[in-house]
Structure formats: structure tokens, C-alpha cells
A and B are shown apart, each in its own frame.
Chain A
Amino acid sequence: MILQPVIHHWRDFNRADRLAGTASVTMMVLILVALLAPLLPLDPPDQVAAHPRLSEPSADLVFGSDNLGRNMLSRVLQGARITILLSAIAVLLASVAGVAIGLIAAYSGKALDEIISRFSDIVFSFPAVLMGLLITAIVGPGEFAAICAIILVTLPPIVRVVRAAAMEVTGTDYVTIAWLSGASPARLLLVNVLPNISVPVVTQVAYSISIGMLVESALSFLGLGPQPPAASLGSLLREGSVYITVAPWLVFGPAIFLVIAIWSTNLIGEGLRVFFDPVRARCLEE
């Protein structure tokens, strides 16, 4: 019963962009499977010698087993859980910070705006991996470093999108009129600006999650993310790459999961953009 409105909105969304509708269902399934993996009837991901070493994929062992005889499916699901969780947490923090900073930049004008914009340009100009290396050099490798790197990579675009959208809305008549009737800056921003920039912000956040997963995987691939025995999709890829000539399935499992997850998130982001597009809304109106 609670799902009724969710399904209703999903139907509209699916009708606007069927690919994105499918992608949203796929992503939902991936997240559920990754989160509920401990409850599924699978071998524990760290159980060594549960199966013969480097066994090929079969009906029981969908992704085969690794060099220590661990079930790759369990490992991929555990790795996916870490990858998705880390990027979700990081992007959540980045969006809260990005919305606040972007609104302040748009509202304060001139000097502060200039400082914020230039600073975010500078941060944005560093390649993601370089940024990750810099941070691990300071805080040491691990989950915290990964989160920091994702935040620093996804924050500048969010700030930019929020600032641009907020500036456009600040110039509209209804904000002028609210200002005229004596509204405080907080009221102007929270009541009149924030709800009307939600569309570009939500879209940008969806893109940020896919960037987050990519950055996390890249860092883990370089061994700078979560440390063993914890594994994320990136570190599984690195471990598997050693055996790529003899047991290519070690790479296929995590790679397929990562590709599907990132592709789906991008499609959802694109779908959200189309779904909220004012031109499309006008077509429906008429």
C-alpha cells in the first residue's frame, strides 16, 4: 500500500523515458541484492577454500571461485555493497555541502561568489585519481580517503549547478516580490529559491553517484581504497587482473556489476533530466 504512489510515479517516469525506467528498476535490484547479500543462501565472502581454487563459472558458482577458493559471487556482492555505500555516503555529504555553498555563492554576489567559484574551479581541475593519491598521502588509504576523494571530485560540479540555477531563480519576479515584502535571506533561499532549483540539483546528484562509484573503483584498483580483507569492486578487479590469462571470470564478475551499475545511474540521471524538462511539461500541458 505504501508503494502505491511510488509505483504511480515510476509509471510516469517510465513513460517519459523507458530506458531510464528500466535502469531504475535494475539499479534497485542491484542495490537490494548487494545490501541483502548476508541474508542470501551464499558462502560467506571471506570463507577460504569453500570451493576448488580458480574453478570456472557453473550453475552453482555463477562467477566462479578465486585463487583462495572463495565464492566470487559472494565477494562481488560484498564489494558492490561497499562501492555503492561509500559513493552514496560521499555524494550525500557532497550534495548537502554543495547546495549550501552554491546558494551562498549565488546570494552573496561579487567577492564571496568570486572566491567560491575560483576555488571550486581549482579543485575541479585536478584529475580524480590524482586527488585520491593526494588524500591518501595525507590521511592514509582506506574508506575515509575514498569518501574524501569522492566528495572533492563531485562537489565542484554540484556547487556550479546550484549556483547557476539559483542565480537564474533569484532574478525572477517572484523572488523580487518576496524580497520587497521584507522576507529574510533565509526565507528567500529556503522558500523561494531552493524548491525551484531541485530539478537540476537532483539530476546532478544522480550523475555524481555514478562518478562516485567510478572514483571509488579506480582508487581501490590502485589499492588506495578499503584495505583487505574488505574488498570493493575495484580491488576485486585488481586481484582478478593477475589471473586474467588463466581465469578471466575473476574480472568479468566485478566488471559486469560495475558497468551495469554506472550505466544505470547515468541513464537514471538522463531520464530525470528529460522527465523534469519544462519543454516536455509544456507539451503535456497543451
Chain B
Amino acid sequence: MSWEAPGGAFHPASTPDYLPVAQMRELQLARLRNVVRRAFERVPLFRQRLDERGFRPEHLGELADVRKLPFTTKADLRDTYPTGLFASPNDEIVRLHASSGTTGKPIVVAYTRRDLDVWTEVMVRAFAACGLNHGDVVQNAYGYGLFTGGLGAHYGAEALGATVIPASGGNTDRQIMLLKDFGVTAICCTPSYFIYVLERAAELGVSIRDLPLRAGIFGAEPWTESMRRHIETLGAIQAFDIYGLSEIIGPGVGIECAFHDGLHIFEDHFYPEIVDPETGRALEEGEEGELVLTTLSKQAMPMIRYRTRDITSLKAETCACGRTVRRIARIGRRSDDMFIIRGINVFPSQIETALLAVEGTVPHYQIVLTREKGLDSIEVQVEVTPEVFGDTVGSMEGLQHRLAHALERTLGLRADVTLAAPRTIQRSEGKAKRVIDKRNLTEAPNENTPTLALPRK
């Protein structure tokens, strides 16, 4: 990479993060034309879709014409499993990753040598935005393997010049030992896992706040400002939100800078749009909707207008940090996580808000959906914490009622609250599984039930 400052340290100002906007748009248009041509020539599904519209790559006159292109969805990746959307021959593909595929077939993503270089480049820029550089010790607790988190963060931190500890996920006691013994200054993992690390460290008598650790790069699941406050207060670190998805590249699509005012999108590689999740209509800057991304430089697997299912908005003004690339608002919810119960759209983040209002912190919780005689019920299981445990039945029932009331007020429907003993709700070492849907939703979907809707404010 060519951003070595004379002293040898990486200098973030040498990256396209600070490119004048007009120059960025020019670069994006040129790259968009290339990638659309590549997909058109090499991906039969994409070609067929353009043909149906009578659209040719050369019809792309300006950036706004991107809206004339068809969307790509997760279903497209599944339907063409495993290699149907590849745009490079086998001998140019140097890496494959795959999603866990909890609902049916996994999705597979491919990289050429240059794709991996781009991935590493954006991860270097991401770590730099978090203030990391040579001399930092990065513990990478994202899972190594088919999941993109592990290797993505690994190569980025290594290329930055930091010392990388490839801890991978799990084995929490060892994670804590490494943090303590190796002078770790930054950790990469999911935010829910780090909260578990804090819990476990306290049990082991290790004070994370007294360690050199100063930054956490947290991603791979939606999280909230209350979780950030919890992490920053207990851990005495700065928590950075990192955004990415395997379909686009993995982690490194966007990152917060030290101002924590949205996530900078590395838009010289990933072109962002916001659309209405129901109609697909393009929305204006600042409007909230679904994030759609186009990979501008991907070779092995170009994604044109990929529907991320993440709900956010775009911000164009230059950030206080000086970066000119656009930002997205933090993603608190995915239209995927959303569940519909009795016709009402519910996001786990709303449940968190209600729990926070009652208890002052967010306890460990799980949502269980059941259906009996055609009627759906929602049960929220909440672990009792020492702060709220009183020894009278009245105080505990009072807590139960206050939680139920807060949930009903926030969600607009009655939720059952079950108080659970500490550490009885399963901890995840990857993405937290908040919703257990036990309803048997195999009947034909009701035509009148919206499958996707914007969250209520």
C-alpha cells in the first residue's frame, strides 16, 4: 500500500476518505460503469435482468442512473448457490467465505487477489479512523473461518502495522488473559460478546478499565447507544461501530471516527443509496430507509444495488474529522430482525429501550414468540440483576409489572414478562440471538400482512 508516511506510520489523510466530493463522484461514475459492464458480461442473471429492461451498460450517463438498475437481494444469492453470481473464473478466485445459513442454504462470496487487497485497504482505513496505528496491539476476537469478520479484521490490522493477536471467538477466560498479559490496546468482536467479556472479567476479578485497552471495534450485529454507554463506562474504552456484510465485502464497508456521529462509508468502493424498503423507491438524503450498496470495484462477485435490509439514513456534509465521504446513521435495526406480531412491527431495539427505561441498564434478555390457537404471544425473558433483586415477592412482581407496562407502552401490544435467574439465558459468542420464534409460520402468508414496513418512530 502506498500510504506510508515518511516516519513509516500510516497517515489516514493519504486515503480517498478526504477526496473533494466532485472528484469522488467522478471516480464513482467511472467505477460504476466498469462494474456494471463486468456484471453484464459475466453474470447471466444480471444480464437477463438488464435485457428485460432494455438497459445497456453504456446507458449509464450519470451517477443518478444507478437508480435504473435492478436490485440484487439475498434471495438471489441463495437461488444461484453456490457460484451463480461469480464474475471471475475459478483460477482468479483466491478466497471463498460463506454465511452461517441459519435459514436454509448458506450464501457464498468470492474474492480475487485484488478484491482481498481492497478489503485490506478499507480495513486499514477503518482502523485508522479509530485512531489505531503502528504500535497498537489488536486482539481479534471475531471468529476465524467462513465468517468474514475474523480474516477481514486480521489482514487489515496487520497491514496497518499493528500487532495482531488472532484470538478468534470463544474461550472467554483466555480472551481475558490475553487482554491482560499482552498489553492489548484494541479489541475486535461483537458488542454483545464484549459485554459478556466484561461480565466474566468482573467474576474473575480482572478490572478491564485498568488495562491498556482503549478501543473496541464492534460490529456484526445491531447495537444501541445504551450498550455503548455501558461498554464505555465499564470498560473505560472508546467503542467504535464498524459496519460491513459478507455480500459486499465483509467488515470495512463503514466505520465511525472519533466523533461518533455516524459511520463513514468507504464510498470509493461501496456506493450507498437509501430506498423505501417497501416500494424500493429512492429516498432523499437524510430520509430513513433501507441501505442499498453497489460494489464499485469488486471483481469476483460484483453486487449491484444490493438490498442490505439495514435501516438507516445518509448524511452528506463533511464530518468534523474532515472526512468528505458520506456517513450513514448508526444501524439500530435491520428489517430482518424485525418481527411482525398481531400485525405490529417490532424491533428488538424497542424492547431494549423499554427495559432500559425501567432498570437503568439493559439486562440480558430474550424474546420468545409463540402461537396458540392462531393467536401470537410475545414473551420477554429478562435476567434478574443484583441491582433490581429485592427479597420480597411484592418487589419482584412490581418489577415484572413495570417491565410489562413499559413494553406495552413502547410496543403497543401486551408482552408477557418472565424473570429469569442470572446466567440462564444463553450467551452467544457471535451474534446475539435475541428472538426465538416458535411460531409455526408455514401457512401461506396472508396477502394483507405487510412483509416489510418502515419502523414506527
A and B pair up = no
Interface residues of A, Cβ cutoff 8 Å to B: none
